[in-house]
Structure 1
Amino acid sequence: MNILTEQLPTAVEIDDVVYDLDTDFRTCLNIILAFEDPELTSYEKQMVMLELLYKEIPENTREACRLGVKFLDCGEDPEANAAQNEGPGRLYSFNQDAKYIYSAIKQSHGIDFETVDYLHWWKFSYMFLDLREDCFFHRLIHLRRQKNLGKLTKEEKELYYRIQDIVDVPEVRTTEEQIVASEFMRLLKQGKNEAE
């Protein structure tokens, strides 16, 4: 679809039935925040998406989930994007970076979300992808990318160590993954202590 010549989607068709979507950026951000939540299971994340995105949940929930993710990816094929996204690691979090994203969009596009009743998710996403280089969030993304690639300059390293708590994006791990990692570290320490 071409955003310049076509209306942005507000519904999807599943099994010859048209289902209206809640396309407001706030709704979609809440879905993404659920997907970032390590305490939710995959099933719970899918249910959050179905309940928030669809005004009426389709019977074919498998296809509804596939099309829901495609909608959140602004019409791009999720499987194709997964192959392309193997880059320098996680560069932002809508949860951790909310205040920087808010100010970056206000600075770059003059939009104050407090005064916006409705904004289509795709419009928000396109603005998010086109932020001014002189805003803090854009510089933060650059710093994270350079760090993840191991290419920080001397000046960037100094900046990184000054604002490390802002720069580092925590890994999203499920409770089970955290337990496995903790047990691994415990066994590693135990083995180290026995060797000494």
Structure 2
Amino acid sequence: MFNLKNTILINGSSIPIATDFRIWLKFQDLIQNLKENEESFYKLLNFFIEIGLNLQVDQFEDALKEVVSFFSGEKQNKDNLEYRSEKVFDFHKDEKYIYSAFLQEYGIDLYEVEYLHWHKFKSLLQSLSENCQLTKIIQYRSVDTSKMDKENKKFYKKMKQVYALDIQEEKLTTEQYHNNIREKLKKRFEDIQKIKGGEIVNE
């Protein structure tokens, strides 16, 4: 029931992968900052190698689907949730709040912990109490002030400005969000045609 996934399935074969949360935070960066150039392509290839994948061309489709699925989490993939139109969370800009929250609520020092599974990290992050500063910040960013009285509206407007994030995101279902990631990654691979002996390589 509580087994944490440590492999992905590619062409019917179960392949072990690295699962520490720090590695998968790198993937978060990659998919947010992919550009149409070789540097982005090779950064992506390096990530696949870092988690333990040495891909053949005919394995790419399965691998890409499985990597995105692992990153997103199995439960989230099954639920057709909606992503809010307003971005309310950022792993890097909120780093100090995440660190403090884990230390305060779970006694986990994220700078010192030797290993923490990505899915466990996400579960703990989603289970923070209402008294946690990070939870309050997310509430400030996401709260609807349209029906508040003048005093509360003024307060929350100020908090929104204090803790504002730069990027606004389109409102998407979970399935649409994952499909967009897959298409974006797939295009980066297709942009570069450096393939030797049927194997995608990094020079």
TM over 0.5, shorter chain? yes
Structure 1 residues 139 and 58: alpha-carbon distance in aligned structure 2, compared to 1, 3 A threshold: same
CA-to-aligned-CA distance 1:65-89 (integer Å, 9 cap, x gap) = 11111111222364x55x4124353
Task: Give the unaligned 5+ runs of structure 2.
Answer: 171-203
- 1:108 CA drift (Å): 1.6
Q: Structure 1 residues 133, 46: CA separation in 2 closer, same or farther (over 3 Å shift)?
A: same
**Residues 153-192 of structure 1 mapped to structure 2, 5 A cutoff:** 154-155=151-152, 157-161=154-158, 164-171=161-168
- Residue aligning to 1:13: 9
State the Cα distance separating 1:64 from its structure 2 match.
Answer: 0.6
Structure exhibiting the larger radius of gyration computed from Cα positions? 1
For 1:32-43, list aligned pairs within 5 A.
32-37=28-33, 40-41=35-36
Structure 1 residue 166, shift from structure 2 partner: 2.2
- Identity of aligned pairs, percent? 23
Residue 24 of structure 2 corresponds to: 28
CA RMSD of aligned residues (A): 2.9
> Which runs of no fewer than 5 residues in structure 1 stay unpaired?
174-196
- Do structure 1's residue 98 and structure 2's residue 95 form an aligned pair? yes
- How far apart are residue 8 of structure 1 and its match? 1.0
Equivalent residues of 1:104, 1:131 under 8 A apart: yes
Match of 2:48 in 1: 50
Match of 1:177 in 2: none
The residue correspondences of 1:22-171 to structure 2 (distance < 5 A) are 22-37=18-33, 40-41=35-36, 44=41, 47=45, 49-53=47-51, 55-59=52-56, 60-76=59-75, 78=77, 81=79, 83-147=80-144, 150=146, 154-155=151-152, 157-161=154-158, 164-171=161-168
133-142 vs 87-96, which deviates more?
87-96
More helix by share: 1
Larger relative contact order (CA 8 Å, sep ≥ 6): 2
**Paired residues, what number?**
164
> What TM-score do you get using the length of structure 1 for normalisation?
0.70
